[in-house]
Structure 1
């Protein structure tokens, strides 16, 4: 039985990834912040771990919670948008800290703790990013703080790949999804997004190390 780790599985895409992985017969370890979310994950059949990626102390304890594990597939789903302002409005320090801490620092703190466990299984790890972070495709400054954070996440993953040759690290664009962040008018459901990204991850090989994919399988040619 393969082992899947999902970081930030309390709702939306993360919860749906957990549900689909369990339905597929995978052993799932999933994290959440609240007791309500942890209970929901346990009801699904996941091993639930308390984790807040915005809390340095919480993240620092992840390694011992996963001690001895070999992770076949890992997902970093945590992400916030906070402000949709464009470049005519500077972000506040609080907005900057909130978005960059969760979207970038959280991932950079998780990587040294989780990727060695992925390497030990010859596995792969996906980081939920966004096409809005692709520098080569920028056509607007809308939600520019979010864009900057996802561009930074892409670089963090791409550069980290060199330190972990035994694992395959990729960034994934989940599409515009019907979540709290994407809104109810988004064209892609969480079920569709999760299923698409799972298909992508099932197909990636070491030749795809450091790549950027969309949930529909398209690979970005420019970052």
Structure 2
């Protein structure tokens, strides 16, 4: 299986790379710096330097993928901030989160989805239950909440343009990574293996009328 991982230098992305390579799959993985690329190369991944927050960097992605048939692509890149609604966000914080979490994905979709369609494959996006408007309980991570809600809309809106690709949104859980911190209850290995099992179960199944929004263990969210 040919797998593309966008934003795979650490945490969930690096674990996806490790598990898919261990399973014998060919992995193309992106990172934005030499250190991240080296970690991926050490696992056996084919690497590609890419900064999803920089439109100039991501603009050549389709050209770099020319001729590929991608059984699976996963957009993992994401950043977090804790600011709430008691003070206005800075332009720097807004640009950092929205460029990485939303614009990067919107730049990637038209460049990657055609290669996923070539294989009749799946295009997964790591989002968050914090982007569910129906699940809001406070403003902690205000910008992050907004960015993930926007990502969800971008993916759902784009899917009809790529009918031969199956799109899916995943909440990975609260995971023990640099972003999730050591206080998180879920090990990254368990989160990733759960999402991999769910993706395997979706493979070849009839495509649902709307992009599924799933928990890491495959359970579907009933509200957005």
TM-score by length of 1: 0.97
Post-superposition offset of 1:207 = 2.5
* Conserved? CA contact 1:128–1:172, under 8 Å: yes
* Conserved? CA contact 1:72–1:122, under 8 Å: yes
Q: Which residue of 2 aligns with 1:140?
A: 138
Q: Which residue of 1 aligns with 2:69?
A: 70
Aligned residues: 221
Alignment of 1:21-100 (within 5 A): 21-81=20-80, 83-100=81-98
Post-superposition offset of 1:206 = 4.0
Does 2:182 match 1:184?
Answer: yes
CA deviation map 1:63-114 (0-9, x unaligned): 1111100000110000001x31222122111100100000000000000000
* Conserved? CA contact 1:87–1:142, under 8 Å: yes
Q: Which residue of 2 aligns with 1:106?
A: 104
| Structure 2: stretches of 5+ with no match in the other structure | none
Q: Which residue of 1 aligns with 2:221?
A: 220
Distance of 1:147 and 1:137 partners within structure 2: 10
Q: Which residue of 1 aligns with 2:13?
A: 14
Q: Which residue of 1 aligns with 2:207?
A: 207
Distance of 1:148 and 1:132 partners within structure 2: 9
